[in-house]
Amino acid sequence: MSDLIETGVEVGVLTIRMNRPDKKNAITQAMYRTMADAITGAGHDDAIAAVLICGAPGTFTAGNDIKDFMAVAMSGTPPRDAYDFLIAIATSQKPLVAAVDGIAIGIGTTILMHCDLAYASPASIFRTPFLDLGVTPEAGSSLIAPKIMGNQRAFALLALGDTFDAEAARQAGLVYAVVEDAEAAALDAARRLAKKPPEALRIARDLLRGDQAEIVKRIDREIGHFTERLSSKEAKAAFMAFMSR
């Protein structure tokens, strides 16, 4: 998967880049596996102090690859690689910094709720069309979103499916700042974190993030609903309609 997910370490920063621009960085199970392993591995590597997640210019990610998820739906089994990725970002031992440029759909939005810092370009847009596809919120978003943006904004994002522009995302707490070059700003922040005393950084981050057990428990609850919905008539009809566009 080295061609679809690029990774590299420089100056203490692990960069994970989604590199499938021809498909708008739609994420397959194999891509989830590569990213999950990279984030988990970073937690055990003293040479890595921070993780930067980014996409191709103009596209962060269009979310799940629908064809790939159709295959999961037909199998009736939970999307294990996607689940492992969600657990990896929820329990990451190293700070996560994201750079968003362009579309951030579905997981492209909910992943930001686990990032310690996220930067977006003015052209970025955020949307979670879960209900439109007959499925339900994921990545612990049903727990985290109301806490960071309030119940009504969270409902508008996760249930109504409203699109948030970059400034609305900043006001909602999905991103820290809106800047012209989101990747440059995110990389600068990651490098600054890499210069901090590592043990002090770990303790400060643990204090700020709190107990992650509640989030993992919510992810487990959400994945149960999500898996059940994947095989529902509503979801299959929505996926088929999407694929026939």
pLDDT tens string, the chain, 245 residues long: the values are 458 999 999 999 999 999 999 999 999 999 999 999 999 999 999 999 999 999 988 999 999 888 887 776 666 666 789 999 999 999 999 999 999 999 999 999 999 999 999 999 999 999 999 998 888 999 999 999 999 999 999 999 999 999 999 999 999 999 999 999 999 999 999 999 999 999 999 999 999 998 899 999 999 999 888 888 877 888 778 777 777 77
Quick check: 78 and 239 in contact, CB under 8 A?
A: no
**Residue 28 DSSP symbol:** P
**pLDDT, position 2:** 55
Strand ranges in the chain using DSSP code E only, listed in sequence order:
5-10, 13-18, 50-54, 59-61, 96-100, 103-105, 117-120, 125-127, 164-165, 177-178
Tell me the backbone φ, ψ of residue 81, rounded to 5 degrees: -65, -40
Structure-token pair, residue 32: 């989830």
Instruction: Give ∠ CA 83-53-93 in degrees, rounded to 5.
Output: 65
Tell me the backbone φ, ψ of residue 193, rounded to 5 degrees: -65, -40
Separation between Cα atoms, residue 89 and residue 139, nearest integer Å? 9
**pLDDT, position 233:** 84
**pLDDT, position 230:** 78
SS3 call for 139: coil
**pLDDT, position 241:** 77
**pLDDT, position 104:** 97
Radius of gyration of the chain (CA): 17
Separation between Cα atoms, residue 97 and residue 119, nearest integer Å? 8
